[in-house]
Amino acid sequence: MPIRFYNTLTRREEEFVPLEPGKVAMYTCGPTVYAPPHIGNMRTFFFADLLRRYLGFRGFQVKFVMNLTDVDDKTIRGALREGVSLNEYTQPFIDDLFHNFDQLGIRQADVHPRATHYVPQMVDIIRRLQERGMAYEAEGSVYFDISEFPGYGQLSKVDVSAGRRGERVAADEYDKDDVRDFVLWKAAKPEDATVGAVWDTQWGPGRPGWHIECSAMSMQELGETFDIHLGGVDLIFPHHEDEIAQSEGATGKPFVRYWLHGEFLLLEGGKMAKSTGNIFNVRDLVERGVKPSSVRYLYLTAHYRSKLNFTFEGLASAGEAVRRVRGTRDRLRDHPAARDPDPADTPSLHAAADEVLAAFAAAMDEDLNTSVGLATLHRLAGAINTRLEELGTRPISHAEQAAALAALERIDSVFGFVSLADRESQVDEGLAAWVEERIAAREAARKARDFASADAIRDEIAARGVVVEDTAQGPRWSLGS
Ligand code: AMP
Ligand code: ZN
């Protein structure tokens, strides 16, 4: 069975055939590192990692690249505001991004290129475009001439004829319907030098436009033609349209074969966006006692091309579902197993595991149908529960137990919420052990009338979000809300 993806380029579901058999080269636009990512951004990164995990599950060798936009209008503005260099400004956001990935069980890409490290490649593409008559210089900036690229509009289907050709736009972001010559290279503004965002080129000092960054980083890491390019739907136009124009304009070759776009996460029906402040990030949720594994599950409940409305009720039922699947896994794992089971007993989980794995793959092959994939996982959990009830106190055969556990694990290698919940409970247990030890130390300090140390320990515990109450039965602790 082939994998099928909905390709934004053709607006059809297509069979996925990589350029090189058995190998996949994929790229996703990463974040602009000027603010902490919210759980809307994370939905898009989760989707990219999910696709990469599933391709791995299907036996492909994947090279996955996600860039970091560390030079653009927003990062320069931020660095200027804080009076630091671009590097100093963006590094904490990059660290925070990877921390968010870790919390949600999103694996880092194989390569995370930073735009500032690929400026020579950007300059080279612009030079080639100029040689081919597709770019022109004006006052130290260089623009892409969309009238010279007949394929402009192929991805977004924007109507180029309605555009006001010849006019130029220098901003990285502009009106969605505004089809104009876009900037490739921007002449330096005086303040750019103060944050270290200036490079010397044949056009004079300046810095790259946002769109050229992704063309340069993706082609450098994956070749001039590669398999899959992803991003959120908001990037189709102009960002991805412009990436195609620049790349194909310079190389004369097809840039990307499959374009996949993830829909938005909504908050109470509205777009979750950094610019409006209508956001939650993982930290906010963890502070409210939400487990990131519930967020992961929530993402899986909707198809990646559907909008997903974020609600706390949805999150609570996601958490409940994670607990159910994990509970079933634990019961099966802890059930006594025997090498030679009762000959009168008929094992049923081998067949259930095979059937569910095949159904899971069939669902995911259909443009990553995660909600059907989840349903197959719950079917396996149901079969396991029924089987354990049937066995009662009798042992299960080692082979049957291993087959069902392996199927659960294989599905979780893609979905990842069970292993994430396992990790969360280890952290919980680790925290509990630490708090118990600190409380004992505090009691000892009090007994020795060393109140300064006792107070210091109390503060140390509080700093980890734990509230200690002194009751008649001794100290009691709980996680603060
Ligand atoms: P940014 O850091 O703003 O460049 O965004 C990084 C990625 O997050 C892009 O691929 C956006 O399409 C995506 N994105 C932004 N807002 C949302 C949202 N509310 N839901 C899903 N993805 C989003
Ligand atoms: Zn991009």
Query: What distance in angstroms lies between residue 309's CA and the mean position of ligand 2's atoms?
Result: 25
Task: Tell me which amino acid residue 196 is.
Answer: G
Q: Is 128 in the pocket of ligand 1 (CB under 6 A)?
A: no
**Ligand 2 centroid from CA 261, angstroms:** 12
Q: What is the pLDDT confidence band of residue 166, given thresholds at 50, 70 and 90? A: low
Q: Which ligand is nearest to the CA of 238?
A: 2
Q: Which pLDDT band, with edges at 50, 70 and 90, does 466 fall under?
A: confident
The contacts of residue 171 (CB under 8 Å, 6+ apart) are: 73, 183
In short, whether 267's Cβ falls inside 6 Å of ligand 1 is no
| One-character DSSP codes across 334-395 | HS-EESS--TT----HHHHHHHHHHHHHHHHHBT--HHHHHHHHHHHHHHHHHHHHHHTTSP
Rounded Cα distance, 52 and 81, in Å: 37
Give 13-56 pLDDT, tens digit per residue: 999 999 999 999 999 999 999 999 999 999 999 999 999 999 99
Task: Please state whether beta strands 141-144 and 168-169 pair in parallel, antiparallel, or not at all (unpaired).
Answer: unpaired
Q: Atom 5 of ligand 1 has which residue's CA nearest to it?
A: 31
User: Is the pLDDT at 342 greater than 90, yes or no?
Assistant: no
Shortest-distance atom of ligand 1 to CA 35: 2
Cα of 217 vs centre of ligand 1, distance in Å, is: 19
Q: State if residue 43 touches ligand 1 by the CB under 6 angstroms criterion.
A: yes
Distance 278 CA to ligand 1 centre (A): 13
Beta bridge partners, 271, equal 266
Helices (H), 392-416: 398-415
DSSP string, 118-140: -HHHHHHHHHHHHHTTSEEEETT
pTM over 0.85: yes
Q: Which one has a higher pLDDT value, 405 or 179?
A: 405
Give Cα 299 to chain centroid, integer Å. 11
**Backbone conformation region of residue 470, classed left if phi is above 0, alpha if psi is from -120 to 50, else beta:** beta
Six-digit token string for 355: 């059937």
pLDDT, one tens digit per residue, over 168-187 is 777 776 555 567 899 999 99
- Give the alpha-carbon dihedral of 375, 377, 378, 382, to 10 degrees: 130
Specify whether the CB–CB gap between 317 and 295 falls below 8 A.
no
| pLDDT band with cut points at 50, 70 and 90 for residue 344 | confident
The pLDDT > 90 percentage for the chain reads 81
Give the pLDDT of residue 176: 54
Looking at residue 44, what is its pLDDT?
98
- Helix (H) and strand (E) counts in the chain: 15, 19
* Helix extents (H) in 84-178: 86-104, 119-131
481 pLDDT band, cuts 50/70/90, is very low
Nearest Cα to Cα of residue 248 among 221, 219, 222, 220: 219
Cβ–Cβ under 8 Å, residues 303 and 369 = yes
- Is the CB–ligand 1 distance for residue 36 below 6 Å? no
C-alpha dihedral sign at 345, 348, 350, 351 = positive
